Structure 1
Amino acid sequence: MGRLNWRNAHCMGGVMDGDETSKLFGKSCRGNVSPLYWRIPILLWSVVVITCSVSFFWGSREKFLIYMTHWGLVLISLESLFGIIVTVRKVNKEKSDATFGLPWYVKTYWLLYNIAIPVSFLVSGFYWGLLRSKVGKLDYFAPNPVLDVMLHGINSAVMLVELLSSAHPSRLLHIMQPLLFAGAYLLFTVIYYYAGGLDPWGHPYIYPVMDWSKPRETIVVAALSGLFLALMHIVVVAIATLRDAIVRRLQKDVTGVYNNAFNA
């Protein structure tokens, strides 16, 4: 009877409060396949890429973290690390807190997950759509072609693997999490500019398409980037919903876990 109630609770509203819901974050949508099979490789990949990026960075090391690309890479590393922690700990046997019924490390993982995936898509789209296009003409930004692809292409691919393979939900109501992260980076670029910060080549900006000496153009780019990021979050929710629908159909289970995009 308890198992039936657990399944019906998921069917009625997706993830709900309680210890049982924590199990989803350490599970795969593919049945008994452990998330460790992709989260450990993603963590190792991110650590190797961070190490190589720092080693081959074209400027002084203290300027490594002025780029959104590297912020996103650190996000992937933290997201995969907490994903591993969530997987290996028996969260269903631990006492929940009084907020959302989830342990703090599960909530931390979910927050990082909600931010890392759409931000990775934004980084790839922003880079190839603006910086490396005829608009940005930023050929000097990627002196190493292998790292170039790793930072601005494979980053999205590994996060897509996380999205397609995980069992826990994505919520439309969480759209503010990636937007607030992007807002924090935007504020950083403003402070960096007015503090006299330069890029590694001595330019008074971090990205040429976001030059605060041209505030109107920069605000337009920032607004469009924010809209694109919001769209990417919606796409993530749509993919998660489709993922769960396909899994239910393959398992011929109409009462199982599914992604309720509007649930908190």
Structure 2
Amino acid sequence: MGTAAMEVKPSTYNIVGVLFQFNVKALYACWRVFWAVYHMTWVLLSWVLEPWVAYPAIDRLKWFVYLTNWMYLLLALETVIEAINFLYVHLLRYDIVKGKKCQMPWYLKMQWLLYEIVSTGSLMVTAWYWGAVYKGTLCRKLYTCKLPVTYY
């Protein structure tokens, strides 16, 4: 091999100096679907586990009072939309990937807008919560502590 230039085949992707000989799109699709399932599972678990934490039925509605829960719900929805859009575009709308479509479709615009809201909002709400609201010494719930910012 030596100093000779290495020929890169069309099916080979050069990412940070490492050559991958497999389908990166399939790996990225698995990554998107994993995060969508992961975040939606946490949202659903927080709703399912709430009856054991909040004994009066009226206290279960307090889930919707917290801004951290709303931002995490938006983050979960955004990851689901990202996964759906990626699969849809790469399986059914390959003209977008090839660059033959001049205008961005509405569903990609919606994904972009939601991503901007969630990425900024989750960081701001988490910083505000830990800086101004939280007065305790220990985090009781993992999903309200670190999960909104661990994705970004």
Please report the TM-score for the alignment, with normalisation by the length of structure 1.
0.39
Q: Provide structure 1 residue ranges, at least 5 long, that are not aligned to the other structure.
A: 1-28, 161-264
Structure 1 runs of 4+ aligned residues shifted over 4 Å read: 29-32
- Counterparts in 2 of 1:120 and 1:152: CA distance versus 1, 3 Å: farther
Query: In the TM superposition, what whole-angstrom CA distance separates every residue of 1:112-134 from its partner, at most 9, and x where no partner exists?
Result: 111111111122212221222xx
Query: In the TM superposition, what whole-angstrom CA distance separates every residue of 1:27-74 from its partner, at most 9, and x where no partner exists?
Result: xx8896333233212211212211221123344333321211111111
Measure the CA separation in 2 of the matches of 1:131 and 1:107: 34
SS at the partner of 2:146? helix
Aligned 8 A contact 2:40 2:77 in 1: no
Query: In the TM superposition, what whole-angstrom CA distance separates every residue of 1:217-259 from its partner, at most 9, and x where no partner exists?
Result: xxxxxxxxxxxxxxxxxxxxxxxxxxxxxxxxxxxxxxxxxxx
Aligned 8 A contact 2:67 2:125 in 1: yes
- Among 96, 120, 123, the residue aligned to 1:121: 123
SS at the partner of 1:56? helix
Please report the TM-score for the alignment, with normalisation by the length of structure 2.
0.64
- Among 41, 51, 74, the residue aligned to 2:44: 51
Measure the CA separation in 1 of the matches of 2:88 and 2:47: 32
Amino acid at match of 1:151: T
Query: In the TM superposition, what whole-angstrom CA distance separates every residue of 1:184-208 from its partner, at most 9, and x where no partner exists?
Result: xxxxxxxxxxxxxxxxxxxxxxxxx
1:40 corresponding residue in structure 2: 33
Amino acid at match of 2:125: V
Amino acid at match of 1:119: G
SS at the partner of 1:102? coil
1:185 corresponding residue in structure 2: none
TM alignment of 1:231-250, pairs within 5 A: none
1:61 corresponding residue in structure 2: 60
Amino acid at match of 1:70: N
Q: Could you say what the CA RMSD is over the residues aligned between the two structures, in angstroms?
A: 2.9
Query: In the TM superposition, what whole-angstrom CA distance separates every residue of 1:127-176 from its partner, at most 9, and x where no partner exists?
Result: 221222xxxx3679x6xx3xx33233122111x2xxxxxxxxxxxxxxxx
Aligned 8 A contact 1:127 1:152 in 2: no
2:81 corresponding residue in structure 1: 82
TM alignment of 1:1-264, pairs within 5 A: 33-34=24-25, 35-57=28-50, 58-59=53-54, 60-90=59-89, 91-93=93-95, 101-132=103-134, 137=135, 145=140, 148-158=141-151, 160=152
Q: Provide structure 2 residue ranges, at least 5 long, that are not aligned to the other structure.
A: 1-14
Measure the CA separation in 2 of the matches of 1:52 and 1:139: 24
How far is the alpha carbon of 1:84 from its aligned partner?
0.9
Q: Percent identity?
A: 25
Q: Which structure is richer in relative contact order (CA contacts within 8 A, separation 6 or more)?
A: 1
Amino acid at match of 2:64: L
Amino acid at match of 1:113: Y
Measure the CA separation in 1 of the matches of 2:128 and 2:24: 34
Aligned 8 A contact 2:29 2:83 in 1: yes
